[in-house]
Chain A
Amino acid sequence: MNGENIFNRIIDSLDIETFIVCQSEEEGRRIGLAIMEQLGFKDADIVFIEFLGSGARIRIRANIYKPGDSYGWFNLCNQKRDKIKNG
């Protein structure tokens, strides 16, 4: 990828959907946010969580760009789109 920050190619946010083994919804939330933190995302939120049985179905969102930010993908718009393919 020629050292390109690949997250610049994400238009707004990155969702992770998974099933977390936990004892309660609250624990599932804590684990979900901890996963995002360990992955290096600073701005994360639980979009959806449903705890039943052995754990929680969860969707966690990392905000890469919010409206009004300086978007990495937008700044790349002068560059050739195939750069990533050839990287």
Chain B
Amino acid sequence: MDNNTIKIKRVLLVPLDPVHDVALKILNRKLRDRGHETILLPPDIPLEEIISRLTEIDNLDFILVSRTLGYGVAELLGKFIDLAEAAKIRDKAKIVLGGKAITPQLAAELGFDKGFGAGTDFDEIIAFIEGREFLRERDSLFRKKISIPASHNYHYKNNRIRRLLNEITDEIIQWGENKSSPGIERAKLRENMITISQDDKLTDEEKNQKIKVLKEKYIAYCDEKIVRFYERGLLPDKVRKLSSEEIGKLNLYIQQQKQNINFKQMRHMQLLPLVFVQYGTGCPIMDIAHIKTSEAWGADGVFHFDPSWGARTEGLLEGILSHEEDGSIITWENLAKIKSSLHKETLWTVRAHRGLNTPETTVIAGRLGADLTKIHIVYGSLNGGTDPARLTIDGLKAIQFAAKYNMPFDEPTNEELGGVPAYKSFAGLLIIADLALKLKAQPILKPLFCYSPDVMISGKMDDNYIDYNVAKIKSLRSIIDAPIWPGEPIGFMTHSEDRVQSTLSTALHSALAISLQVDAITIASSDEAYSRGPISLASRIDTLRGAQEVFRFLGKAKIKPTGKAKEYEKEITEGIEKTLEKVAKRGSFVDALYEGLLGSPQDGAYPGRAGRDTVFEG
């Protein structure tokens, strides 16, 4: 409700304490800001004098009485009500009670019209005075799914770079015509199997028959590890099916968690950045525990992190499966169960980006209603272990699926962590973003906030972690108006095993993110640098709390970089342009990947081998 439509109320505020009147002063200011007429009495006035003053004031709508101290509270407030009744003040105005010593029950027992206890939101009291329903900001404004690309138009601001990208991505699309791979064929078969399983016109028997035929074709495109599962029911090492008893309990657990949840509010004055955490404990039960806890502590989104072997294996398993090591296995059933646990306003992203199951994962995510996915051909080819030609064709198809299912996707530039300079990884990032725009998809740029090997060697972060990260964001913004979501997680390679240091580093990088008004961030747990065991749930809360605290600290204030940021920005933009010139001149994006133009072995990037020689005409 805006201030113009509010019916003005006359409100008297009465502090019934010797000194404690700060809350009433805040409320007084907030009521006046909304146009109400208020009178704030000073503290420590005898009850009789207060009543005497009340009888002299006309046309009061509300009398707000506060009491912080607990001793003798019932007697004092009871006497106040008795005096008010005797003076016929109750007939003139509603008398409302609030304060740390108050509970709504006590207020009702004493005869007040309404009571507000400790921890009440000021806006709840104002809503009561204005006679409207109170909607918590965390429920209305802050706990809403936001479309990350919605506020960006994808217009280029650097025409030279736009032209180079156009040339490169035309070539990629042309190269990809009439090509396919086992991953693409499986994705199409999976899509058909899902369609059949959801077709209400078919009987179960008809569905099973049709799916059986498709499954046989599917298995023909799978690795031995997956074939063993489908043909003999053998699961890979360290993987087990959850029992039906466990699944039953899991359903109940999800139901309980959904009933119990109460959200903390992460952000203070601003809607951005959205805060994501990644889960992938290996076990869907533990994943759901992490997700529900992250939601409760204010995370806006969660993303599914799968085991590294999953990216190097042709084909996906089926069933609700638990895995003893990091990364939760991608199956339709695992993802469906996890999806069922999410709050309706929680953003969910399933990473598909780097391996042999990229198109199929995108299909499953899309059909399950994931909000986002993750696809990056360059990173997956140079540091993710997948053959460049294979991932180029699979990536092309995955981007088309992402567009079909209306899932924006982010592109993580994690090749920087191998040593590739930011400008080269950004050239790759922009190529895939431009490709996505041609395929009518919505790319999200994901530069890293990190202490990368390249900046360690070049000394660009010797003074601070701010300038170079600012330069990265500003360089990208000088090229295109696209959503930016630093990851993955922010502060990569700045964390140590020290919980305090690790949390603080995440928090400070969150401060930089809010200062730059990026669209989203992914934050680590405080166990980020601890590699000898699983991430603990408590460590997730550490960093969510840390980020929340810096959002409160900064509000709308900004972090100011030094003059070096401008120099670095120019350097990065020039580097991007030169890299794109080389790729365009090469005339083949795939060859440019093999030949190291977007990251070479000297940089720390190596063309992957998984799926080599599997691209075929078709």
Contact = CB atoms under 8 A, between A and B. Distances in A.
Interface of A: 11-13, 15, 17, 45, 47-48, 50, 59, 61, 63, 66-68, 71, 74-75, 77-78
Contacts of A17: 499
B282 A61 contact: no
Interface string B223-250: 0000000000000001010000010011
Interface centre among A11, A12, A75 (most CB of B within 10 A): A12
B323 A67 contact: yes
B536 A68 contact: no
Given A47-B527, A77-B252, A77-B256, A71 B537 contact: no
Interface of B: 238, 240, 246, 249-250, 252-253, 256, 281-283, 285-286, 289, 322-324, 496-499, 527, 530, 532-534, 536-538
Contacts, number: 66
Nearest to B286: A67
Interface centre among A13, A50, A59 (most CB of B within 10 A): A13
Given A66-B534, A67-B534, A68-B286, 9 more contacts: A12-B286, A12-B537, A13-B536, A67-B282, A67-B286, A68-B283, A71-B286, A74-B250, A77-B256
A11 B537 contact: yes
B281 A67 contact: yes
Contact of A12 (B240, B322, B534): B534
B519 to A, nearest CB: 31
Given A12-B536, A13-B536, A75 B249 contact: yes
A63 B249 contact: no
A17 B498 CA distance: 11
A66 B496 CA distance: 22
Contact of B249 (A13, A67, A77): A77
B285 A63 contact: no
A45 B533 contact: yes
25 contacts: A11-B289, A12-B286, A13-B533, A15-B538, A47-B533, A48-B496, A48-B498, A50-B498, A59-B498, A61-B533, A61-B536, A66-B533, A66-B534, A67-B281, A67-B283, A67-B534, A68-B240, A68-B322, A68-B323, A68-B324, A74-B249, A74-B250, A74-B285, A77-B253, A78-B252
A57 to B, nearest CB: 8
A47 B497 contact: yes
Nearest to A75: B249
A50 B283 CA distance: 32
Nearest to B502: A48
Contacts of A59: 497-499
Interface centre among B246, B250, B286, B530 (most CB of A within 10 A): B286
A59 B527 CA distance: 12
B494 to A, nearest CB: 15
Nearest to B287: A67
B499 A78 contact: no
Nearest to B238: A68
Nearest to B533: A45
Contacts of B289: 11
Nearest to A48: B497
A67 B325 CA distance: 8
B322 A67 contact: yes
A66 to B, nearest CB: 6
A28 to B, nearest CB: 14
A85 B324 CA distance: 33
A64 B534 CA distance: 11
Contacts of B282: 67-68
A1 to B, nearest CB: 21
